Amino acid sequence: MTAETSTKPTASSDGPNPCQREIAIEVPADVVTAESDAVLARYQKMARVPGFRRGKVPASIIRQRFADEIKSEIVEALVPRYFREETQKQNLQPVSQPRVTDLRLNRGEPLTFRASFEVLPEFKLAAYDDIPIEKFPTEVTEEEVERALNNLRQQRATYTPVEEQRPLADGDFAVVGFRGTPADGAPDAKPVEVDEVMVEIGGEDTIPEFTENLRGAKAGEERSFSVKYADDFADQRLAGKTMTYTVEVKGIKTRSVPELNDDFAKELNAGVNTLEELRHRLSENMKAEKAREAEHRGKDQIVEELAKRNDFPVPEAMLEQAIDVRLERGLRALAAQGMKTEDMKRMDFGRLRAGQREAALREVKASLILEQIAGEEKIEVGEEELDRELQGLASQAKQTVEEMRARLTRDGGLDRMRQRLRNEKALDFLYRRSA
């Protein structure tokens, strides 16, 4: 077998791709002949050809009748194997599937082909022992604890129907059903319909137009009005739109919140018996959450700084894969928020991919940089750490650890998991040193 590495990177739409490599490979004729004979023997054994008993079809007829199939099997058997051997010999690490061109396969001759693929970039690691990070406060104030306590009270509030026929006032909860239609009257636009929901009149989270138009209404009344949503409205299905609503007031309720005392603390079943113990538990939990958030933001700063300090090309295959992961994560979040599949299909995925490109590029660069830092600092992942991660995944998938390990080993996921954990440890190392 002989091979030749191209010195010219393959061009892309943005210019030459420094991560692209191309090699020409020749598989010796005797190897091709041996593989061809093996494939031919299998076909002779199994082929059914009219006029011949099974297993007795002449080789010449098999070659003629199944020429394309035999050629395909020879290529599938030899091309991946010799491509892998040649890249290992040349110490190349492909990160993309090879694109095979100029493939020539003739009986009695060597099999030749060219393979183009991307490799990991080579770069000199910039200094990383002086990365400053902003210090974020982790202390919890009494006011924050009181707000958390009040939220707990609101969550356990009870609602009592108002029997008298009186108008809605601020602080009341209107029990309503409504139908909303886009004001532009687009024929393909679907209305928004809700059978029953409670709306707090004058509430902080209530859309002002609902408060203004429902205040003063009585049970049994119907009100119609329009709402113009801001372009940055949280629900992207409504952002920038004007909706016309027809709202039926079905009833009125008032809210009662429990008193803040030891009995309230006990009823939470949080392992506390007094209000003071509850305050302490909330304070500790909030402090831990702030510490986690400070760590997350600090690590983000480290990753951003590492990406700035190390300038190198990123393989397009790795970048596209990172974009895929980010998009999939985003779509799962939208689905969890209630977005329907047909609405997702109408999204501009080209624009979405372009919007994810910069963040994905930073993620890929950070992964490659952290991998080098882990090597410099001799950071490794032990079997116990790997087992803990496997146990978590197995529990989520309702599988045994052995089943999860076998599945990940088959598709290369175990090596990817080990690498991810190693990179996380490298980032932990940098954060602890900078904090």
Residues 303 and 367 sit within 8 Å (Cβ to Cβ): no
Q: Quick check: 9 pLDDT over 50?
A: no
Higher pLDDT, 2 or 37: 37
If pLDDT is split at 50, 70 and 90, which confidence band does 234 have? confident
Average pLDDT over residues 287-315: 94
Among all chains, which residue has been given the structure tokens 């599938």?
A: 76
Helix (H) or strand (E) holding 256: strand 242-256
The pLDDT assigned to 347 comes to 83
The pLDDT assigned to 2 comes to 52
Choose among 301, 353, 298: nearest CA to 325: 353
Between β-strands 242-256 and 158-161, what pairing exists: parallel, antiparallel or unpaired?
antiparallel
SS3 (DSSP) at 156:
coil
Alpha carbons 266 and 370: distance in angstroms, whole number: 47
| Partners of residue 100 on adjacent β-strands | 115
The pLDDT assigned to 4 comes to 46
| Partners of residue 237 on adjacent β-strands | none
Average pLDDT over residues 189-202: 89
Higher pLDDT, 54 or 423: 423
The pLDDT assigned to 401 comes to 87
Average pLDDT over residues 62-77: 87
The pLDDT assigned to 5 comes to 43
The pLDDT assigned to 329 comes to 87
What is the token pair recorded at 30? 């005797």
What is the token pair recorded at 65? 């009748």
Average pLDDT score, the chain = 89
Per residue in 256-273, pLDDT (tens digit) is: 999 999 999 999 988 899
Residue type, 400: T
Alpha carbons 63 and 71: distance in angstroms, whole number: 10
Q: Quick check: 295 pLDDT over 50?
A: yes
Alpha carbons 227 and 208: distance in angstroms, whole number: 9
Contacts of range 414-419, beta carbons closer than 8 Å, 24 or more positions apart = 414/386, 417/386, 417/389, 417/390, 418/381, 418/386, 419/371
Average pLDDT over residues 203-232: 94
Render 285-299 in DSSP notation, one character per residue. Answer: HHHHHHHHHHHHHHH
The pLDDT assigned to 68 comes to 87
The pLDDT assigned to 47 comes to 67
SS3 (DSSP) at 213:
helix
* Domains present along the chain, CATH in parentheses: 2-118 (3.30.70.1050), 158-256 (3.10.50.40), 275-434 (1.10.3120.10)
pTM of the model: 0.70
Per residue in 358-386, pLDDT (tens digit) is: 999 999 999 999 999 999 999 999 999 99
